[in-house]
Structure 1
Amino acid sequence: MFGSKQKRRDSLRAAPLPLTWLKVIERNVPFYRYLPEADQCELHRHIQVFLAERHFEGCGGLQITDEIKVTISAQACLLLLHRDTDYYPTLKSILVYPSAYIARQSTSVGTGMILESTTIRLGESWQRGAVILSWDDVLQGAADIHDGHNVVLHEFAHQLDQEGGEAKGSPILERRSMYVAWARILGAEYVQLQKDVQDGHKSTLDDYGATNPAEFFAVATECFFEKALQLKKKHPELYEELKLYYRQDPAQFRNR
């Protein structure tokens, strides 16, 4: 079974990317232009597999188009470059709303009581099954490659974190020995961000990263790709850890 899956994926990767898809990427994902040519070609191959294996579903009246699928897939697959990947193995569907959507939320308030509320969301990642995205915010996040905000990178970083179980800000690393440095550096950076937020100090990292370690990893991922030069200068150890994990050096090609 594994052999047949690998053969199918090899066949998909060998096929040329449709020109209409390439035009969508060039128009909607400006980060693509900064990638070295070899990385662009690898990204094309990953997109072919991802689109063949993952289901997209429109919500709130949105009709799914190739533009929607390709724009999201290109950004999701950016996180997979240079790495052995099973293409987000616990993910089955990507649900896309036209814009920010309302989600129900249950919070325990002690003594067995549950508080029901609603929140407005741009995206979310479920441990098993789905990523939910706002199409307006997908486009907005992709269009500005300098602001450190990209909902696709954020939610798919959660998917990577969730491959080993509950998201805790510690995705599966290549070697067991790497977890020591990861915990030390990301733990210290997380605590520092919490302190910066509490003291009202501006950080390269978005304040939302101070919510919990899982959100810190997702926010750091956004920053790594979109504010690479600032992150490398102000948080060099964090940058190096993410560089080792993602096997990419966006500060290098963003500085060309």
Structure 2
Amino acid sequence: MTALLTVCVLTAVAALAWWVPRWRLARALARPFDPAYLAVIERNVIQYRGMPEAQRAELRRLVQQFLLQKKFVGCDGLDLTDEMRVTIAAQACLLLMGRPSKVYGQLHTVLVYPGAFLVPRRQVDAAGVVTEQRQDLLGESWGDGRVVLSWDHVRRAGNEVAPGQNVVLHEFAHQLDSESGSNNGAPWLGARERYRKWSQVLGRHFEQLRAEAWHGQYGVLDHYGANSPAEFFAVATESFFEQPYRLAARHPELFEEFVAYYRVDPRDWFPRPLAEDPFHGGVVYGQWQ
């Protein structure tokens, strides 16, 4: 009888552990979206302004789930506000639009600094000499379920047309990359046969970016992506969501791989550019359609 009772208790506990989070999520999603949160998204997530209503509703649902399931921690004296939480959640959830996926299932905490933060680094040279350094960072994605962000950069990036750099998109691309088991620029693609083309296309464009960085040539992709395939995937993700017309024009094959992976085309969210800007390598935008 005791053994049977133990089994029953364990079964009940397991059932509650499965049911309670789903009940809490269903209850959160059933609530009307907070108008104050909506104002934050409209102000700080430029892509939202060009979305059709169905995609706007999808993003709002993802934001509600993100806010429910993730813990935010203010660092270096930062007092977290709803604007910070909602802005970060909305920018991060852009990467999940159209993808049948958990909302960053491996992530549990977002650490937010007011500005760039110092991180200790240890470097070992060819002779085995160890050098201790401190590096200024705007963001970092850790393999233990944490992402670190600079709020100052998050706030500015979400309001600019085609800035090309967004620390939230960058670090959460690393989170997606790690879902395949390693952070190597090849996220989980859903089918093993897709990796061959992914490797070929991203490999060619990675080598092209390395050559551009070596010769000091600038295009749509930030040279930071030349450091490794993982950084290339994160940098290309930034350009895909922030400068889709430029990326499609200059790297069409790479752009199509990202359309297939992210299952959205961000060009639909931006006004069609009137012309390429020959002085800054950017685009001159028309009116919102």
Give how far 1:143 is off.
1.4
List aligned pairs for 1:44-59, cutoff 5 A: 44-59=60-75
Closer/same/farther in 2, CA of residues 10 and 175 from structure 1, 3 Å limit: farther
Residue 242 of structure 2 is aligned to residue 226 of structure 1: yes
- 1:42 is matched with which residue? 58
- 1:195 is matched with which residue? 211
Closer/same/farther in 2, CA of residues 3 and 81 from structure 1, 3 Å limit: farther
List aligned pairs for 1:136-175, cutoff 5 A: 136-175=152-191
Aligned to 1:117, the other structure's residue is in SS state strand
- 2:254 is matched with which residue? 238
Give how far 1:108 is off.
2.4
Give how far 1:253 is off.
3.4
What is the distance in 2 between the residues matched to 1:60 and 1:108? 29
- 1:29 is matched with which residue? 45
List aligned pairs for 1:180-219, cutoff 5 A: 180-219=196-235
1:186-244 Cα offsets, whole Å, 9 max, x none, are 01000000011112222111111111101100000000011100111110000000000
What is the distance in 1 between the residues matched to 2:66 and 2:130? 38
Kept in 2: contact 1:127–1:165 (CA 8 A): no
TM-score (norm 1): 0.95
Residue 90 of structure 2 is aligned to residue 74 of structure 1: yes
Closer/same/farther in 2, CA of residues 2 and 170 from structure 1, 3 Å limit: farther
What is the distance in 2 between the residues matched to 1:12 and 1:85? 18
Structure 1, 142-151 or 208-217: larger mean CA deviation: 142-151
Kept in 1: contact 2:48–2:269 (CA 8 A): no
1:68-124 Cα offsets, whole Å, 9 max, x none, are 100100001111111112111111110000011111111222455432101111000
Paired letter, 2:266: P
Aligned to 2:184, the other structure's residue is in SS state coil
What is the distance in 1 between the residues matched to 2:268 and 2:223? 26
Kept in 1: contact 2:49–2:269 (CA 8 A): no
Paired letter, 2:110: I
Residue 122 of structure 2 is aligned to residue 103 of structure 1: no
What is the distance in 1 between the residues matched to 2:29 and 2:148? 26
Kept in 1: contact 2:25–2:68 (CA 8 A): no
1:14 to 24, 30, 51: 30
Count of paired positions: 256
Give how far 1:28 is off.
1.8
Closer/same/farther in 2, CA of residues 253 and 65 from structure 1, 3 Å limit: closer
Look at both structures and tell me which one has the larger radius of gyration over its CA atoms.
2
Aligned to 1:21, the other structure's residue is in SS state helix
Give how far 1:20 is off.
0.9
1:92 to 108, 113, 116: 108
Aligned to 2:264, the other structure's residue is in SS state coil
Aligned to 1:87, the other structure's residue is in SS state coil
* C-alpha RMSD over aligned residues: 1.4
Aligned to 1:133, the other structure's residue is in SS state strand
What is the distance in 1 between the residues matched to 2:245 and 2:237? 13
Structure 1 segments unaligned to the other structure (5+ residues): none
TM-score (norm 2): 0.85
Aligned to 2:191, the other structure's residue is in SS state coil
Paired letter, 1:128: D
Aligned to 2:186, the other structure's residue is in SS state coil
- 2:77 is matched with which residue? 61
Give how far 1:35 is off.
1.5
Give aligned-pair identity as a percent.
Answer: 46
Give how far 1:145 is off.
3.1
Give how far 1:249 is off.
0.5
What is the distance in 1 between the residues matched to 2:174 and 2:111? 15
